[in-house]
Amino acid sequence: MKYCETIKGYRRSLAERRPANKFSNGRTDHRFRRQVLVSFGIVLGVLVAGVHPAAATDPSEPLPHIEKLARPSLKDKKDAQKDKKDVHSESISNRQPMDSAARAQALDKVYGYKGWNIIFPSFADSLTQDDGYWRTRLASYGFGFQTQNSAIFQGNILNTPRNVPSAGFLPCQPANIRYNCAGGRSYAGQQPLAYISGLGFLTYDMSQWGIPDGQIAAAGSYQISTDQQFSPTTFRFQGLSWYQTLADKKFEFQVGYFPSMPEFAGTFVGGLVTSPFGPSASVPIVLGQSPNSMGTPNFRATWNITDELYAQTGIQRSLPVNGPTGNPIYDEVKSNPSGFGFTSSVPGTRILYTNELGYKTQAAPGNPFTWLRTGLMYNSSTFKDYSRLLVDPTATKDGALGFYALGDYQIWQQDPSSPNTAYRGIYLGGTFMYGPPETTAFTQYYEARAYWFAPFDSRPRDMLSIIYSHNKVSKNVQRVINNFSEFTNFSAIDSSNSITASYMFNIRPGLYATFGAGYTDKPSLQYFKGEGSSLSLLFSIYAML
C-alpha cells in the first residue's frame, strides 16, 4: 500500500483503489472478510490495557496534518541548483506514513454516519481506530462501521426504602411493570440499577455510483437492564435510511427508519453521547419522539439558510403514546420487539411532526460557541385525556402540541490560540419544554446547565458538568392520582427538583468513564409516606469500536 502524505490525498487513494473491488492476494481477502465478521460481533465488555493520556486535540476538529519535512539547507550558491533537483526525491524517500488515528480521522467525512445535529463520534475516537488498516479495507468497498457501547450503574445511598412496602398497597399487575405497587419500585435507582446498551452503524457511500454525498445507513441496537420500566431488555433493528444533500449542501434530506432524538433539539450535554447523566426531560418521549436507541419510520429535511442559521422539519411515526403501560418506550418494544414494524399495533398511534429553527456557530479563536434552537412538536395520535379521566376512565383526546427552546453559549475560551483548542472553556445552557396538561404527566421542564470542556491541559477530552432540572406535574394528573390515594396509599407530587454533578474522564481514544452524583427531592410521580428523597451515585463506561 502506498502511503499518502495528507488526509486529502489519502481519501483520493481510496477512490483510486475502489474500482478494482478486490485484493490481489486471496489470503488477504480471506483475512479481511474474517476481520469484518468479527467486528460485527463485538459487544461491550472490552477492558483496555495500557491506558495512556488522550492526544491534545479537540475531538470535534480534524487531527493535525503530518508535518512536512524541511527543505535541505543550501550549502552555498553554487550548490543551490543541484539541491533543488534533489528535494523531491529526498522528500519521497523520507515521507512518513499516516498513523492509525490519522487514517481513521480521514474516513469520517465520507464514511461516518450523517444526519445527527450533534457530533457523531470520530473513527479516530475508537478503540480500534484503523489498526491493521481494517477500516481502510472496508472503505475501499464503500463501507464504514462503528459500534457505541455503554454501561450505566446507579444506586441511591440514602437510608430510604428500597421498594414500595408489601402491606397496604395494591398487588403488581403486568401494566405496572413492577412500579408503584406492593413490593415494586417507585423510581429508577431506588434499587441498584444496571443498564448495558449498544448501537452498531454500517454506512455505505453512494458517491462511488455518481451520487455525491449520498449515504445508505443501517443500524442495530441492544439493551439489557435490571429495571424494565427504565429500559426494557431488547435486541432489535434500529435503522435503515438514505441521507442526501442538494444544492451544494444547502439542503439535507434523510428518509427511512431512524430515531429522531439525535436529529432534533440537541439535549445531550455538550453535544456528547459519551456523557449520559444530568438531563431528565420526558416531554419529547411522552409526545412520541423516538430516542437514540429506537428507530421508527421517519423523514427529515433541513434547510441550511446560512452557515449559521438553519430550519428543519421531521415527520415520524409516533411511539405508542396510549399503550397498555403508558410508557411509550416500553410499549413500543413490546408491540414491535424486532423493530421491523412499520406501523404500530397500538390503536390510535399516528404521526409526530417536528419543526425546528436554530442558530449555531462553532468555537473559533475569538468566536465562542453558540447554539440556539426552538421547536414545535405536534402529534396527531390518540392520547389519554387526564382532564376528563375522573368522569370517564376511557376518555381520550386526539392530538397534542408541544414546544421546546434550548440555548448553549461558551462564556469563556480557555485557550483561543488556535482552532484546535478554541473549544476549551466554560459553557452555560438552558432548556424549557412544554406539553399540554391534558395529555402529558410532566407538563413543564426547566433545566440550567454549566459544563467545562478540557479543564486541564493534559486532559483535552474531559468534561465537568453540573445540571439543575425542575419538572412540573400536570394539575389534571395530580387530581386523578390524589382522588384514589385513599385506596392506593399513593399521592401525587406537584413538582420535583434535581441536581447532578459529573466528570467525564477520557481514558484513551474510544473509552470514557463518567463519575457523578445526583440528588432529587421527590424522585417519583406517585409517592408513598416515608419514601424520602434520593441521592444516587452514578457511574458509566462508554466504549466505541
Instruction: List, for residues 321-342, the tens digit of each pLDDT value.
Output: 999 999 999 999 999 999 998 8
pLDDT reported for residue 10: 56
5 against 383, higher pLDDT: 383
CA-nearest of 214, 8, 205 to 103 is 8
Q: How confident is the model at residue 23 (pLDDT cuts 50, 70, 90)?
A: very low
pLDDT, mean of residues 336-361:
95
pLDDT, tens digit (0-9, with 9 covering 90-100), for 296-322: 999 999 999 999 999 999 999 999 999
Q: Cell triple for residue 348? A: 390510535
Which pTM was predicted? 0.83
pLDDT reported for residue 144: 97
pLDDT of 91 > 50? The answer is: no
Task: Specify whether the CB–CB gap between 317 and 351 falls below 8 A.
Answer: yes
pLDDT reported for residue 18: 52
SS3 assignment, position 332? helix
pLDDT of 21 > 50? The answer is: no
pLDDT, mean of residues 122-149:
96
pLDDT of 12 > 90? The answer is: no
| Nearest-5° Cα angle at 538, 535 to 542 | 165
CA distance 57 to 138: 26
pLDDT, tens digit (0-9, with 9 covering 90-100), for 179-198: 999 999 999 889 999 999 99
CA-nearest of 226, 196, 154 to 519 is 154
pLDDT, mean of residues 370-389:
97
Q: Which of 50-64, 71-85, 155-169 has the highest mean pLDDT?
A: 155-169
Residue type, 38: V
Task: Specify whether the CB–CB gap between 356 and 368 falls below 8 A.
Answer: no
End-to-end CA gap in the chain: 24
pLDDT, tens digit (0-9, with 9 covering 90-100), for 210-237: 999 999 999 999 999 998 877 889 999 9
CA-nearest of 281, 405, 291 to 355 is 405
> What is the overall mean pLDDT for the chain?
86
pLDDT reported for residue 300: 98
pLDDT of 72 > 50? The answer is: no
pLDDT reported for residue 30: 45
pLDDT of 45 > 80? The answer is: no
CA-nearest of 384, 328, 382 to 350 is 382
CA torsion, points 152, 157, 160, 166, in degrees to nearest 10?
40
Q: Cell triple for residue 112? A: 461516518
